[in-house]
Amino acid sequence: MPQFDPANFIPQLVWLAAIFAVLYFFVVRPTLPKVGRVIDAREGKVAGDLDAAESAKGEADAIRTRYDEGMDAARKAAQAEVAAAREAAARASEVRLKSLAGVLDGKATEAAERLAGACASAKASLTATAAELTGEAVQRLAGIDVPRAEIEAALAAQDRG
| pLDDT, tens digit (0-9, with 9 covering 90-100), for 113-157 | 999 999 989 888 888 888 888 888 888 888 888 888 887 888 778
Domain spans, the chain? 8-160
Q: What is the dihedral of CA 49, 37, 19, 12, to 10 degrees?
A: -60
CB-CB neighbours of 131 under 10 Å: 20
Q: Which helix (H) or strand (E) holds 4?
A: none
pTM recorded for the entire structure:
0.43
**Cβ 127 vs Cβ 152: under 8 Å:** yes
